[in-house]
Structure 1
Amino acid sequence: MNVRRLIPAAALAGAVALGATALTACSGAAGTGGADGTLRVTASFYPMQFLAEQIGKDHVKVDTLTKPGVEPHDLEITPKQTAQLGEADVILYLKSLQPAVDKAVAQSGGKNIVDAATLTTLESHGASGHDHDHGQEGGDGHSEEGQAGTDPHVWLDPAKYAEVAQGVGKALEKADPDHAADYRKNTDELVTRLTGLDTEFKDGLAGAAGKTFITTHAAFGYLAERYGLDQEGISGVDPESEPSPARMKELQAVARKDNVSTVFFETLASDKTAKTLAADTGLKTDVLDPLEGITESSQGADYVEVMRSNLKNLQKALGTN
């Protein structure tokens, strides 16, 4: 999943600025907060960064370990980043998604370590939406497999993401009690937005003619379960594993049986297997974004916008509009 992208100048400048301010804060002040009193938060990748920024707003400086355009599962952590983790006021990550981050966090000695996986209930999802035995269909890759075979992609279900947001809000209140009222207010506002997004998905997919969608990356188990859909992953939970010829044949049969029109690929991964399957079955291809990072190729500027694009693409593929 090594993809090289051009990053928009504004996004690059923002990332550099965030990194620079976080470094300045880390090296400058001891105790809670940077030299200007802001809370220094290090987020592991985009879904954690989004929560920290939306809930913390002006009270936080957020540094992200996974920069725009970098596939999060491939991330390697430098010794310098591990040292910086130890100086952060809050570390926000999702255990089991990024092995390098898990290791660095364990070594960091950070004061306030928040594991998003503990803020909601994780479940097991297979490559097929019809089973819950993780990885039974498709590849046997383990790079994204959660604890005890659970699926870590909770942020793709707005309702579960809202649960995580509430936990992150409480963690920021605890780390910075002087601004607790603001964190509560911002958390409530974000949860309201995510609840609204959940309603949009429920209403938007309620009348779908089809229920089955095929995707290269079986990241959408929570989303499928929430909205009554069936996910069929080409490569299982590990998007880098090559599907077997038997799996490709099986998916061709599924496509015929369930009248599937579209094979989805994602923005940070290769679309080769999706295009191969689509060519073999006469299907269309489209994007279903697992939102592991935002780049200029993303169909939206933030989590909510990209999720709305995902909804539109699902509606088109499943025959609701």
Structure 2
Amino acid sequence: MNVRRLIPATAVAGATALSLLTLSACSGSSTADGGNSGGKLDVVASFYPMQYLAEQIGGNHVEVTTLTKPGVEPHDLELKPRQVSELRRADYVLYLKGIQPAVDEAIAQAGVKNTVDAATLTELEAHGTGAGHDHGHGHEGEEDTGEEHEGAADPHVWLDPVKYTEVAKGVGASLEKADPAHAADYKKNTDALVAKLNGLNTKFTEGLKNTGTKTFITTHSAFGYLAERYGLEQQGIAGIDPESEPSPARIKELRTIAEEDKVTTVFFETLASDRTAKTLAKDAGLKTDVLDPLEGITDRSRGDDYVGVMESNLAALQKALGAK
């Protein structure tokens, strides 16, 4: 990762030099020969959804690097010592607390002045293996077979375009404050992104209004916010952690849910194992398809960026749910 510290144009000694090594100097001026980053704000994003926001809103005024490289499953990311060292030299850090424990710890220790936790820019909710409008599959007195029905706050807010819009607005405001010289451009870029996300929300609202079933089964319980937003019911094989293993009782429950709710498809994702999803689908006579939690973009992603992949997710849901 290439995270660089910009040096003020005028060489100043002692404490004065330290005081000039500020975000204002980094973003508003450059060295006599153009500076190491050409006067751009050095932004470090924790993983793709944060990277997308920084790039879309920052535009030409930022140089964005990400701690999670394409194809790496972000939940289990371990940072190299070099990454931790370079993180401390960033001008602005954007992350989402609760997704990557190792990143959370490193960012807390880095002490970068302009550090923004996207989880503070919207309201988090608790979701588990089942999330959405209807949780009526359990029966009184039965053992709860879902591993995380009432778990900790769900961090997957970017999969709800409305909540992602709230985060985008907060990121825009924070960049305006961090780099006031380019505040007008950040505001303009934020407005453009908000319009794009509002359009995406409209597509989901209209596209999922009339469906044959409201229930979908997915490997990773990342779609609780999306399900709640559009009146669907997520049934996860695993919990919030994509690597957690379902109990035999949970698998049995999912077969019952699939039959009762006329589920046609078991969804899996590109960055985690699809073994359990395909086994469940085969045993229950169901199809399989990809529902991408958008934790990274690779050459296997069904889209080049956030909006493209979300539109592919919408198409997959419409097909699986029998949208009319």
Q: 1:248 to 1:161 in 2, by over 3 A?
A: same
Q: 1:94 to 1:154 in 2, by over 3 A?
A: same
Query: How is 1:121-160 mapped onto 2 (pairs within 5 angstroms)?
Result: 121-129=123-131, 130-131=134-135, 137-139=145-147, 149-160=152-163
| 3-state SS of paired residue (1:26) | coil
Identical aligned residues as a percent: 65
Match of 1:297 in 2: 300
Q: Does 1:26 align with 2:5?
A: yes
Asked whether the equivalents of residues 218 and 232 of structure 1 are also in contact (C-alpha less than 8 Å), the reply is: yes
Q: Which amino acid aligns with 2:291?
A: L
Match of 1:178 in 2: 181
Aligned partner of 1:82 among 78, 81, 84 = 84
Q: 1:72 to 1:141 in 2, by over 3 A?
A: farther
Q: Does 1:61 align with 2:69?
A: no
Deviation at 1:40, TM superposition (A): 0.7
Match of 2:15 in 1: none
Deviation at 1:109, TM superposition (A): 1.2
> What do residues 229-278 of structure 1 show as CA deviations (whole Å, max 9, x unaligned)?
00000012221111111111100000000000000001101110110000
| 3-state SS of paired residue (1:69) | coil
| 3-state SS of paired residue (1:63) | strand
| 3-state SS of paired residue (1:62) | strand
Deviation at 1:139, TM superposition (A): 3.6
> What do residues 199-254 of structure 1 show as CA deviations (whole Å, max 9, x unaligned)?
00000000111100000000000000000000000012221111111111100000
Asked whether the equivalents of residues 204 and 315 of structure 1 are also in contact (C-alpha less than 8 Å), the reply is: yes
Aligned partner of 2:118 among 116, 119, 123 = 116
Give ranges in structure 2 of 5+ residues lacking alignment. Answer: 9-20, 28-34, 137-143
The structure whose Rg is larger is 2
Which structure's residues are more often helix, by fraction? Answer: 1
> What do residues 143-188 of structure 1 show as CA deviations (whole Å, max 9, x unaligned)?
xx7xxx1000000000000000000001110110000000000000
Match of 2:240 in 1: 237
Deviation at 1:141, TM superposition (A): 11
State the alpha-carbon separation in 2 of the partners of residues 294 and 229 from structure 1: 25
Q: Does 1:251 align with 2:254?
A: yes
Asked whether the equivalents of residues 120 and 160 of structure 1 are also in contact (C-alpha less than 8 Å), the reply is: yes
Query: How is 1:91-102 mapped onto 2 (pairs within 5 angstroms)?
Result: 91-102=93-104
Aligned partner of 2:314 among 306, 311, 316 = 311
Match of 1:14 in 2: none
Q: 1:115 to 1:131 in 2, by over 3 A?
A: farther
Aligned-residue CA RMSD in angstroms?
A: 1.8
| 3-state SS of paired residue (2:307) | helix
State the alpha-carbon separation in 1 of the partners of residues 183 and 145 from structure 2: 46
State the alpha-carbon separation in 2 of the partners of residues 101 and 171 from structure 1: 20
TM-score normalised per structure 2: 0.87
Deviation at 1:138, TM superposition (A): 3.4
Match of 1:5 in 2: none
| 3-state SS of paired residue (2:102) | helix
Aligned partner of 1:106 among 73, 98, 108 = 108
Q: Which amino acid aligns with 1:200?
A: K
Give ranges in structure 1 of 5+ residues lacking alignment. Answer: 1-18
| 3-state SS of paired residue (1:206) | coil
TM-score normalised per structure 1: 0.87
